[in-house]
Structure formats: structure tokens, C-alpha cells
Amino acid sequence: MNSFPRDDFALVIGSSGGIGAALVRELERKDVFAATIGLGRSSIPALDLMDEASIAACAVHVASIGVPRLIIDATGVLHAATLQPEKSWRQLDAKQMAQAFAINAIGPALLMKHLLPMLPREGKSVFASLSARVGSIGDNHLGGWYSYRASKAALNQLVHTAAVELKRRHPAAICVALHPGTVRTTLSAPFGKDSLDVQSPDVAAARLLEVIDRLGIDDSGGFFDHHGQAVPW
């Protein structure tokens, strides 16, 4: 992570998840930043994407520590007890769609609302939100997974739009969406296939941080995979 100044700290949202926890471990191992802070539903203070007041309270907590140089949003939901990816439009359900959008799009948008203003105005800084290739409209050849695809596509638009505003306020800051690939976590476990390039969380975290390290200001607003290749919108 040699492209970052070393004086500030890194922040990982969703640090109790498979990728989030691995990102915290890898950042601590690299020892580039003054500290690495993880926030999520089980942290103190707790951050709940469904509760903006908790996001605002965590932002105040972060500000009391210092300036975040790198912020990674590693949140997201594909399936839950009340949510399963749809194979057909016959399975569309308004409540399940609302849940997917609340966690995959609205929650990250509120993170941007409260955390983007905290990025430093000088030197490289990055806000990266984990999206998914299936959120690409141009790369959708299989259909299905309506709520997950649409909510991640919405996230991509939110990231791109925020990057436009961020450029005016923090010219050296970068805001991107990243596709981590298929990772061996509870999110992907029911849907992984032997033929897929399934990575361990630690490998995925290392790859994502390498991509982030290579990002330049012209990449802000973009959507990249874990190899650093641009993903179609």
C-alpha cells in the first residue's frame, strides 16, 4: 500500500463478515496505516446499515479518532432467512426486494453520506464499496437474481454519482465499486461451484488491497474487479 500517506488510519465497515475480517487482518499485517478500525453490528459502537442513527454515531466515533485515509465498505446480502435469490420473475416479492435494496444500496449510500466528508483533502484517499459483477447490466447474460442484481446495480450508480460530487469537494479522493470475485464466505457458500475461481477471504482481501493501491484519481467513479480490470456497467 505504498501509494498512501502513512499518518492516518483505515476503516473497514462490515468487519465481522468473511471478507471484512480478512481485510482487517491484511491491513494490520501490512502495517501501512497508523491503525485499522473495524465497524459492524457487533462492534462498539455498533453500526447497523438499517439504522442511520447508528451510522451517524459511528461517524462521530471515527471523527474522534482522527482522519480515515482508506474506507472500505465490505457489507452486503445475497441470501438470508427471509431472502433468497430469485430464479424467475414469478418469485419476486416486494418485501424481499426492499430488504436487498436496504442493505446493498441504501445502507452504503448512507455510509457515503456520513463518511465521505471525513476523507482528507490532500493526498490519496479511497472510499471503496464492495459490489458484484452480477450487478453489471452489460455483463448480464444469465438473468435471475433480480433483487441482488438490481440492488448492486443501484449501488454502482450511487458510487459513481458520489464520485462526481467528491471530486468537487475532495479533488484527491477516489470513490469506487469493487467486485471481489467469488469468495468462500457464508454469502456465496450455497451458490459456489467447483468450476468457479473460489478464493479464500485472505486471498480476496490481498487482491482487493492491491487493486486499491494501484487506483489513481482518474479511476474515481469506476467499477473494477479483483484483478483491477474495469467491469461493464
**Residue 87 vs residue 188, higher pLDDT:** 87
Residues 33-78 have pLDDT tens digits of 999 999 999 999 999 999 999 999 999 999 999 999 999 999 999 9
d(Cα 87, Cα 74) in Å, to the nearest integer?
25
Q: Is the pLDDT of residue 102 over 80?
A: yes
pLDDT at 195: 46
Closest CA to 4 of 59, 46, 55, 67: 67
pLDDT at 186: 59
Residues 109-127 have pLDDT tens digits of 999 999 999 999 999 999 9
* Cβ atoms of 225 and 181 closer than 8 Å: yes
Domains and CATH numbers, the chain: 9-225 (3.40.50.720)
* Cβ atoms of 151 and 101 closer than 8 Å: yes
Q: Over the chain, what is the mean pLDDT?
A: 93
d(Cα 65, Cα 77) in Å, to the nearest integer?
29
Name the grid cell of 2. Answer: 505504498
* Cβ atoms of 12 and 37 closer than 8 Å: yes
How buried is 223 (Cβ within 10 angstroms: 0-12 exposed, 13-18 middle, 19+ buried)? buried
What is the crossing angle of helices 201-214 and 18-30, to 10°?
A: 60
* Cβ atoms of 65 and 9 closer than 8 Å: yes
Residues 118-169 have pLDDT tens digits of 999 999 999 999 999 999 999 999 999 999 999 999 999 999 999 999 999 9
Cα-Cα-Cα-Cα torsion 83, 152, 170, 38, nearest 10 degrees, comes to 40
d(Cα 215, Cα 25) in Å, to the nearest integer?
21
pLDDT at 227: 96
The model's pTM is 0.93
